[in-house]
Chains A and B, each alone.
Chain A
Amino acid sequence: MDFSKFDDQTLMKLIAQAQEDALRELYDRYNRLVYSMAVNAVGENTLAEEITQDVFLRIWNKAETYSPKKGKVITWVSSITRYRAIDAIRSQQVRPEGHSVAWDIEGSLDNPDPLNVEERVETTQRQQRVRHAVAQLPEEQRQALAYAYFQGYTHREIAEVLGEPLGTIKTRIRLAMQKLREYLEEEDIAKA
């Protein structure tokens, strides 16, 4: 069976039925995303590989808990990856403040679901908009946002790591999120 012709949601159903090749196809689509999120979170490759491995084993074992009502598969996979990486940071007491998150604000685009044309176009456009939106942020806001998103740090922890007042960090995060929302909503309206 050619699993590459299936969309993400169909793959999830097949994975729930223990179709190993369906997981292999999903791995082909998302291994870069999962691994890169993990590297950005923990700052080193070996632990990122462990996290990537754990995420795909978790998808294998928990596929039946995925529901399209929860959103797109890419969102579900990203969410599992993010929290698995944050858990690794907290349980292993990794302090990855020494590395900077590699926001790709001008680089090439990925196509997570390359054979679903509609999904590919939508994802590519979304990717462009998000990257452009992040690129508009001042560097200090991008930095605070990265600590909150990838490392799971609270306001207080970010303030401690960066040596900045707590109120400053709160403002940076709030402004970054407000700007991103505003920009992405404007783009959505323009697209419609």
Chain B
Amino acid sequence: MKTEEHVYDLLPAYALNSLDEEEKIIVEAHLVDCKTCQLDLESYKHVVDDLPLAIKTKQPPADLETSIFEQLGADRQSPELQDRESWLDRLKSNFLSSAPVWGAASLVLVIVLLFSNLYLLNSLRAHEAIRQTDLTTVAMDPTDYSPQATGMLVISGDGEYGVLVVDQLPILDDTQQYQLWLIYDGQRASGGVFSVNHEGYGSLLITAEQPLSSYPAFGITIEPTGGSPGPTGEKVLGGEL
């Protein structure tokens, strides 16, 4: 790779997560197969990890500890989290098992929710293709590594475009991202890398050389930031067409 193609100047801000979206996409695309920049990024991430050590610390109020431990209760989860059913679970059950009328309503809901996250979708053509054709959905099943995780993959009728939405995946630190794998005949092609927010929610506009409908199976693994040529980490979700 030529030196001028590297993204050295953007890496410090990428490590801080302070790039604007367009620059972030450029960096992530470059990182996929540039070991030099991956290493450079790692060194900046160490700097970011150390920054909290440089702040002046002070004691929180004494009653804060009491308040926290009162909320733990006997259960593993706080009441807030106990009551929290994954929106994706609700969406899946509504979408996949409803009567036709409600199914249509759910479909609208799916599209609204998906497109609210599609800032990556810079192609109106892709947008129209997904909206106007029959959608295929693939429910992604969790593994033992992340039994609470849920996911859904939605593929446009012509198989050209797809969107992945996940929820309740484990939160990763800055050195790791999730990577979608498109599986065919034992071979795995990358469908893109993505991160999740503090609730484990994330989405990905999928790009692939072949129509997505030609891949009978999909998987998501934990990989180093920027992705790997093939799966190396824990599998967290999987599904079949």
Contact = CB atoms under 8 A, between A and B. Distances in A.
Contacts of A14: none
Measured as residues with beta carbon below 8 angstroms from the partner, the interface class of chain B is 35 or more
Contacts of A104: 54-57
Contact of B72 (A60, A148, A174): A60
Interface in B90-146: 146
Contacts of B17: 148, 152
Contacts of B15: 177
A79 B59 contact: no
Interface string A163-192: 000000010011011101100110000000
A80 interface: yes
Nearest to B170: A65
Interface string B198-241: 10000000000000000000000000000000000000000000
A37 B198 CA distance: 16
Contacts of B67: 53
Interface string B8-19: 010011011111
Contacts of B175: 70-71
Interface string A50-81: 00110011101110010000110011101111
A184 B198 CA distance: 29
Interface stretch (B28-36, B42-50, B159-167, B179-187): B42-50
A76 B170 contact: no
Nearest to A175: B12
B78 A61 contact: yes
B60 A103 contact: no
Contacts of B146: 65
Contact of A20 (B16, B43, B72, B171): B72
A123 B54 CA distance: 12
Given A18-B76, A152-B17, A49 B60 contact: yes
A12 B51 CA distance: 22
Nearest to A174: B12
Contacts of B19: 154-155
B1 interface: no
Contacts of B198: 58, 80, 83-84, 87
Contacts of A40: 55
Nearest to A16: B76
B18 A155 contact: yes
Contacts of A82: 52
A95 to B, nearest CB: 17
Contact of B174 (A23, A79, A87, A131): A79
A84 B61 CA distance: 19
B176 A177 contact: no
A89 interface: no
B85 interface: no
